[in-house]
C-alpha cells in the first residue's frame, strides 16, 4: 500500500550566495515566493531561514521572519512553516588565543533564539541537538540551552523538529524525550547527513540512526550537495520522510544549477513515486505529525 511521504523544502540557508547560484533567495519576498512555489510542487513543509536583505547574511531578526510568514499566509498558501532556531550557537576561537573570539561568533540567549517562534507561532521549528565542529567553527548547544529552548517553544504549541547529525546527538535527543523535556507523543527527528563532521551520507548510516530512534518517533532525513537525491531514495526505502532544497544543494545534476527550489521538490516527488509511495498533502502531514493536538494542548 502506498505510503504518504512528507516532503520538506529547506528554502535558503545562511552560507550560499547568489554568486554560487543566482536563484538563491535572500529577501523576504524572494523567500516567500520560493516557499509558495515549493508547495505547488509537492512540499508539505517549508524549512525557513531569513537573511539580511542588505548583506545577504543569515539573520535572526524577528521582523524578517514575520514578513515571510505574513507573505505566505496572505497568499493563501497552506504549507506548514518550520522556522529555524539554529543561529545563535556559533563559536570560533584561535588556536593560540582560545579566550579571544574570532569573527563569525554568534552566541545568543535561549529567549533570543526563539523570539521569532514565540511571536509567529509557526507549526514547527527546528532544535539543533548538536555540538560539533563545523568548518573552522564549533556549533554549540549544551543541555541547559536545549532544555530552556525546548520549554519556551512548547509553551506556544509549536512542534519541535530535533535535528541530529550523528548517533551521539540522537542519543541526547532521545534522552530529552525520555526526561519529558520534549513532551510530544510523536517526537520528530531530522537525521542530517553528509555535513562535515557529522554522519556520512550513506544508507548504512541512515539505517543505523533510524534503528536507534524511540519507538514512537516520526523521522525524516536528508543529504547535502550531491547526496541530496540519493538520500531521498534511502529515506523512502527505510520508511522515513524527506527533505530537499537550496539550503542543502544548489544543483539539479553535476554542473547544472537549479533555477529554484521547485525543481528540487519535483525531483524528490518523482523519486518517491518511482518507489511506490506519494508526497503527503499538507493535511496529511499535519495529521501524521499530530500538530493540531499539540496546538490544542498549549491553548
Sequence ranges of the domains in the chain: 4-298
Ranges of the chain with pLDDT below 70: none
Residue 95 has a pLDDT of 82
Residue 71 has a pLDDT of 99
- Name the pairing type of β-strands 159-164 and 124-128: parallel
Nearest CA among 248, 292, 288 for reference residue 268: 248
Q: What share of the chain is helix, strand, coil (3-state, %, to 5)?
A: 40, 20, 40
Tell me how far apart the alpha carbons of residues 257 and 230 are, in angstroms, rounded to a whole number: 17
Orientation of helix 167-178 relative to helix 203-210, angle to 10°: 20
Contact by Cβ (8 Å): 284, 47: no
Strand partners, 101: 93
Residue 8 has a pLDDT of 99
Cell of 124: 514547527
Q: How far is CA 231 from CA 35, 137, 201, 206, 266, in A?
A: 22, 26, 7, 9, 15
Residue 105 has a pLDDT of 80
User: Quick count: other Cβ atoms within 10 Å of Cβ 72?
Assistant: 22
Residue 102 has a pLDDT of 74
Tell me how far apart the alpha carbons of residues 293 and 298 are, in angstroms, rounded to a whole number: 9
pTM: 0.97
Contact by Cβ (8 Å): 149, 110: yes
Residue 135 has a pLDDT of 83
CATH number of 4-298: 3.20.20.70
Cell of 225: 550537495
Residue 3 has a pLDDT of 98
Tell me how far apart the alpha carbons of residues 193 and 221 are, in angstroms, rounded to a whole number: 7
Residue 60 has a pLDDT of 94
Residue 152 has a pLDDT of 98
CA of residue 51 relative to chain centroid, distance: 16
Contact by Cβ (8 Å): 193, 200: yes
Contact by Cβ (8 Å): 264, 228: yes
Amino acid at each position: 500500500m502506498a505510503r504518504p511521504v512528507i516532503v520538506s523544502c529547506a528554502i535558503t540557508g545562511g552560507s550560499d550566495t547568489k554568486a554560487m547560484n543566482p536563484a538563491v533567495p535572500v529577501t523576504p519576498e524572494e523567500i516567500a515566493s520560493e516557499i509558495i512555489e515549493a508547495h505547488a510542487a509537492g512540499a508539505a513543509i517549508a524549512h525557513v531561514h531569513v537573511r539580511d536583505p542588505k548583506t545577504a547574511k543569515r539573520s535572526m531578526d524577528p521582523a524578517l521572519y514575520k514578513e515571510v510568514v505574513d507573505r505566505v499566509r496572505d497568499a493563501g498558501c497552506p504549507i506548514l512553516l518550520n522556522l529555524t532556531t539554529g543561529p545563535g550557537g556559533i563559536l570560533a576561537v584561535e588556536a593560540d588565543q582560545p579566550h579571544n573570539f574570532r569573527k563569525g561568533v554568534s552566541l545568543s540567549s535561549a529567549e533570543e533564539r526563539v523570539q521569532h517562534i514565540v511571536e509567529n507561532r509557526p507549526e514547527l521549528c527546528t532544535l539543533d541537538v548538536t555540538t560539533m565542529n563545523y568548518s573552522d567553527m564549533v556549533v554549540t548547544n549544551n543541555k541547559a540551552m536545549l532544555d530552556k529552548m525546548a520549554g519556551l517553544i512548547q509553551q506556544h504549541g509549536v512542534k519541535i523538529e530535533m535535528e541530529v547529525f550523528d548517533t551521539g546527538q540522537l542519543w541526547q535527543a532521545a534522552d530529552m524525550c525520555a526526561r519529558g523535556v520534549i513532551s510530544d507523543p510523536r517526537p520528530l527527528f531530522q537525521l542530517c547527513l553528509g555535513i562535515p563532521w557529522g554522519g556520512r551520507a550513506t544508507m548504512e548510516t541512515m539505517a543505523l540512526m533510524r534503528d536507534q530512534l524511540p519507538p514512537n518517533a516520526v523521522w525524516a532525513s536528508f543529504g547535502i550537495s550531491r547526496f541530496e537525491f540519493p538520500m531521498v531514495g534511502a529515506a523512502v526505502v527505510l520508511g522515513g520522510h524527506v527533505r530537499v532544497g537550496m539550503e542543502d544543494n544548489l544543483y539539479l545534476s553535476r554542473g547544472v544549477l537549479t533555477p529554484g527550489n521547485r525543481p528540487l521538490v519535483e525531483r524528490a516527488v518523482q523519486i518517491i513515486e518511482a518507489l511506490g509511495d506519494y508526497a503527503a498533502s499538507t493535511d496529511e502531514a499535519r495529521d501524521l505529525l499530530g500538530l493540531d493536538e499539540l496546538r490544542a494542548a498549549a491553548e
